[in-house]
Structure 1
Amino acid sequence: MVNLGEIFPDFEADTSTGKINFHEWLGVSWGILFSHPADYTPVCTTELGAAANLAGEFAKRNVKMIALSVDSVESHLGWIKDIQANSKLTGDFPYPIIADDRTLAVKFGMLDPDEVNKAGMPLTARCVFIIGPDKKLKLSILYPATTGRNFDEILRVIDSLQLTATKKVATPVNWKQGGDCMVLPSVQQEDIPKLFPKGVTMKPVPSNKKYLRITPQPE
């Protein structure tokens, strides 16, 4: 298991595009590593197709994508054709899929004990790990095998992570790119004019505590 803020461990793996060393493959980019229960299954086919259709959006954010399951490279390569047909994708598939022998799934806590294959072995759950250019884990989400992910939401949280990594703001509930942000409580009042030239609005509350400070999204 990896905790938020820890270095995501390096590893070697066979993938649909050849062997990789994870840290070397990631380079100075952000990365998303997401697992799926099994190839040739309905929900996974829709998920990986949706992710592939959003490859340009991930690339605009300097995010490399890589998927994982406990199926073989040969299985991945055959299944990719089904994903492309179902999602109307053409050309090369935009990201690799790791063929894991369960080593990584166990190491990173990816297995879903309630979902097993015909041999009774647990399948990978729908994990999402977002790793920064510093190789540290920035976000993790774990979905059960029965629930498909929303990749628009994953893009939204990447936008938030990248914004808040460099600006002294947090993003409020249901925030989207371009929306108002909250000034961090650690920011001193005297520093606000320099940090937030667009201005800050203090929202009054019954406690009279001055912590709800709202500002337009910083550039």
Structure 2
Amino acid sequence: MSKKSRKKSSKTPSSPPTAKKKPVTTRASTKARSAKTQGASASNSAKAGAKSASHKAASKRLKSSETASKPAASAPGAKSALTEGQKAPAFRLPRDGGNIVTSADYAGQKLVLFFYPRADTPGCTREAIDFSRLRDAFKAAGTAVLGISADPLKAQEKFRDKHSLSVPLISDEAHEMLEAYGAWGEKSMYGKSFLGILRTTVLIGADGKVARIWRNVRVDGHADDVLEAARSL
């Protein structure tokens, strides 16, 4: 065998080790990448968990704050429990036409106050028309009649003109008189609770004391019932 052949044969065995190194390097890098991926996944899971916990905590805080606010919201209607025989609360508020009406204006005479939820709605319209129809009869019984809602003056005047109402209409946008007479409180409709005007009528005697209170009024025939009560007072 020549020297060249020996050299070639001695070099040939050295190539396989180089080929063997590649799989080792590939496995190592694969493991490294796998470990890195697992680490990133764990980090993302931890972040997601933290976020979820944060949302749950915020949700609970919101829930508790909403619950806490409910009693305060219903307080206005609950704090005024006007009863028969009690002195009628004083009031001073604007009426249709822009004048001011006060309780002192009706001192020494009987007075009917009918509180209605909203001007120009079906039930309120029928009620206001009925009291207007009987205005002269109430006057003959020595009784004045006032309608009260939280509508602004413009809405009250439009209501008066549209239906030719003859009873004065008071605007209590701040709910002061409504609360004092127990006509403002919690109502419910279609499963939802909210604050609003409770249809209520109060008859005040000539002595300034509450003679009768009608709560949760049904409009049909109501004005006639109040007239009979005023006549018998």
Measured against the shorter chain, the TM-score band is 0.5 to 0.7
Q: Relative to structure 1, is the Cα distance of residues 115 and 48 closer, same or farther in structure 2, using a 3 angstrom cutoff?
A: farther
| Helix, strand or coil at the partner of 2:127 | helix
The residue aligned with 1:12 is 92
5 Å-filtered alignment, 1:159-170, equals 159-160=231-232, 162=233
Partner of 1:99: 171
Whole-Å Cα distance in 2 between the matches of residues 99 and 68 of structure 1? 6
Q: Does 1:156 align with 2:231?
A: no
Which residue does the alignment assign to 1:109? 182
Tell me the amino acid that sits aligned with residue 148 of structure 1.
Answer: V
Q: Residues of 2 paired with 1:21 and 1:78: CA distance?
A: 22
CA separation in 2, counterparts of 1:38 and 1:26? 25
User: 1:17-166 residue pairs with structure 2 within 5 A?
Assistant: 17=97, 18-22=99-103, 24-84=104-164, 93-100=165-172, 101-114=174-187, 122-143=195-216, 147-149=218-220, 150-160=222-232, 162=233
Letter aligned with residue 159 of structure 1: R
Whether the 8 Å CA contact 1:32–1:129 is kept in 2: the answer is yes
**Structure 2 letter corresponding to 1:11:** F
Kindly state the Cα deviation for residue 115 of structure 1 after the two structures are TM-superposed.
5.3
Q: Distance in 1 between matches of 2:166 and 2:105?
A: 14
Structure having greater relative contact order (Cα 8 Å, sep ≥ 6): 2
Report the CA distance shift for 1:115/1:77 in structure 2 as closer, same or farther (over 3 A): farther
On the 8 A contact 1:14/1:20 being kept in 2, the answer is: yes
Q: Normalized against structure 1, the TM-score is what? A: 0.62
| 1:38 CA drift (Å) | 0.2
C-alpha RMSD of the superposition: 1.8
- After TM superposition, the score normalised by the length of structure 2 is 0.59
Provide the secondary structure at the position in 2 that maps to 1:33. strand
> SS of 1:46's equivalent?
helix
**1:109 is paired with a residue of what secondary structure?**
coil
Q: 1:95 to 1:25 in 2, by over 3 A?
A: farther
Higher strand share: 1
Distance 1:140 1:41, change over 3 A: same
Secondary structure of the residue that 2:87 maps to in structure 1?
A: coil
Query: 1:168-189 CA deviation, whole Å, 9 max, x = no partner?
Result: xxxxxxxxxxxxxxxxxxxxxx
What number of residue pairs does the alignment pair up?
147
Q: Which has the larger radius of gyration?
A: 2
Shift of 1:136: 0.5
Q: Where is the helix percentage greater, Structure 1 or Structure 2?
A: 2
